[in-house]
């Protein structure tokens, strides 16, 4: 049986030293008590998954209905979409293969009027299920898409349009919950205290997973196995100190203290590359507060060895790196024996050995240029291992936030742009934002053509 490991051999590199590994140990006892209290109070539901039984019941109930459609159009943004895209790319890659004729997931996670209209022109409404995701039920981009899609469904399906839609939102409040109650359409809840960036292993990510036939139970099993030791009433300082998420958090906090202000997330599992985008939101939205945090930067191996890695190796020494690998990826086809002499060393080798060589070479290069690096090695690229990875990074993010003495579960500055956008659209209740807009738009322009 393969195992998952964290390789810390190159973690204390550059301005970090091995003694830094113990820098934050004195805070562990207090944080372990706080962690258990938060888990016990269901304020960190992505760790102990208290909603799992209800979630599984709902997924089993709705799966035959979901499977009856050929297309799923998902309306959601940020945490309502990034995790789902990562799951699709990792475990339903056939959608992106030539001549694919099976199910397809379409994720509308932006305000792109041209593409959105084109999708609605081309999608067969009678074979399409629409899933609308907003925890608050009031995300303007998603609600605007819902208004358009609702009319599209009515036009093509008449009164049957409500049989082609599911709303995933708060269990009790918000506009989408009101729509569920008014229309009687299918719905699943986003659990309390589960923010979007922590929600991939809820209905938010697992309804699309069920549609695609992904092993969603494996994802849940993997996640729970990582958080299990932290959920026991006897959870102590020793339990937390031994947990890999604590070590990542302590290392990440030390990086920031030593002016490593960028955290690379370098993925050397090609089908898992989109987990880098998911992690970027998780880390940035959780930790970027009060002038604190570090900038997450997704990178894809080996693609970025030929682009941005020049900066990583030759640029400022301001980066730490989480390096995601898997030793059991497909080996692929065998090189022929008649290759030119210059490439004779490839004769009889498997195509996949190139990826393993590049993985090692890039890691060594980062080490030799004094980049602190932790290798996250998953034994197999399966749903269970993905669930473990998701839980590991979510818990590490929360602990890092607490070490920074900020709240890793809110996102106050994200709301500012939303309020200004609502004021620009003419929504009521935004008098102060309207004044700010008038001042902004009234500035003397300084424009140059190019």
Asked if the bond preceding 287 is cis, omega within 30° of 0, the reply is no
The beta strand positions in 57-108, using DSSP E, are 71-75, 104-108
Per-residue b or e along 10-40, where b marks 16 or more CB atoms closer than 10 Å to that residue's CB:
bbbbbebeeebbebbeebbeebbeebbebbe
- Concerning whether 306 is annotated as a catalytic residue, the answer is yes
Per the residue annotation, which of 19, 53, 172, 306 is the catalytic one? Answer: 306
CA nearest to 73, candidates 137, 138, 150, 170: 150
User: How far is 205 from 80, CA to CA, in rounded Å?
Assistant: 8
Residue ranges in 242-346 assigned as alpha helix (H)? 244-257, 275-287, 309-314
Q: Which residue of the set 285, 375, 385, 433 is catalytic?
A: 285
How is the beta sheet containing 165-170 ordered, strand by strand?
A: 104-108, 71-75, 128-133, 165-170, 186-190
Please tell me the total number of residues recorded for the chain in this structure. Answer: 450
- Catalytic residue, chosen from 154, 156, 292, 418, is 418
Q: Quick one: DSSP state of residue 191?
A: P
Residues facing residue 298 across a β-bridge: 265
- List all residues 6 or more positions away from 53 whose beta carbon is below 8 Å from its beta carbon: none
Catalytic annotation on 285? yes
Give alpha helix (H) positions in 258-352. 275-287, 309-314
Residue 263 is inside which H or E element, if any? strand 262-267
Write down the residue that tokens 């090692």 correspond to: 360
Q: Rounded to whole angstroms, how far apart are CA atoms 110 and 273?
A: 20
Running DSSP on this structure, what letter comes out for residue 267?
Answer: E
Q: Are 433 and 419 in contact (CB under 8 A)?
A: yes
Q: Which of 252, 247, 237 is nearest to 282 (CA)?
A: 252
- Neighbouring CB atoms inside 10 A of 384's CB total 20
Return d(Cα 308, Cα 444) in angstroms, integer.
37
Report the alpha-carbon distance of residue 398 to residue 23 in Å, rounded: 18
Which amino acids are annotated catalytic? 285, 306, 418
């Amino acid at each position: 049986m393969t195992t998952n490991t964290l390789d810390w051999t190159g973690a204390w590199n550059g301005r970090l030293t091995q003694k830094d590994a113990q820098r934050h140990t004195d805070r562990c006892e207090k944080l372990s008590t706080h962690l258990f209290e938060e888990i016990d109070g269901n304020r960190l539901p992505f760790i102990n998954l208290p909603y799992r039984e209800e979630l599984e019941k709902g997924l089993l109930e709705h799966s035959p209905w979901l499977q009856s459609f050929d297309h799923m159009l998902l309306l959601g943004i940020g945490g309502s979409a990034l995790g789902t895209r990562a799951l699709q790319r990792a475990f339903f890659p056939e959608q992106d293969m030539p001549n694919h004729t099976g199910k397809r997931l379409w994720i509308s996670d932006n305000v792109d009027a041209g593409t959105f209209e084109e999708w609605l022109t081309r999608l067969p409404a009678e074979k399409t299920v629409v899933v609308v995701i907003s925890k608050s039920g009031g995300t303007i981009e998603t609600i605007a898409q819902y208004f358009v899609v609702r009319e599209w469904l009515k036009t093509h399906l008449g009164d049957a349009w409500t049989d082609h839609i599911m709303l995933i939102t708060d269990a009790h409040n918000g506009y989408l919950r009101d729509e569920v109650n008014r229309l009687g359409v299918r719905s699943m809840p986003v659990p309390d205290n589960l923010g979007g960036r922590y929600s991939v292993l809820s209905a938010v990510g697992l309804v699309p997973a069920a549609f695609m036939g992904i092993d969603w139970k494996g994802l849940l099993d993997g996640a729970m196995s990582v958080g299990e030791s932290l959920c026991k009433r006897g959870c102590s300082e020793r339990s937390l100190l031994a947990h890999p998420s604590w070590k990542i958090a302590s290392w990440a906090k030390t990086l920031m203290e030593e002016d490593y202000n960028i955290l690379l997330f370098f993925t050397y599992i090609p089908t898992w590359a989109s987990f880098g985008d998911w992690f970027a939101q998780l880390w940035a939205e959780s930790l970027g507060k009060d002038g604190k945090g570090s900038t997450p930067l997704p990178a894809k191996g080996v693609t970025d060895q030929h682009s941005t890695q020049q900066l990583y190796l030759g640029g400022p020494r301001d980066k730490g790196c989480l390096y995601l690998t898997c030793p059991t990826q497909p080996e692929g086809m065998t090189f022929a024996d008649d290759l030119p002499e210059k490439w004779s060393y490839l004769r009889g080798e498997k195509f996949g050995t190139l990826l393993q060589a590049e993985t090692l070479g890039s890691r060594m290069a980062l080490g030799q240029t004094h980049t602190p690096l932790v290798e996250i090695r998953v034994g197999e690229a399966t749903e269970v291992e993905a669930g473990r990875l998701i839980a590991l990074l979510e818990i590490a993010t929360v602990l890092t936030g607490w070490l920074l003495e900020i709240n890793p579960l809110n996102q106050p500055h994200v709301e500012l742009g939303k309020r200004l956008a609502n004021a620009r659209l003419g929504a009521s209740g935004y008098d102060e934002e309207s004044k700010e807009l008038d001042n902004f738009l009234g500035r003397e322009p300084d424009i140059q053509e190019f």
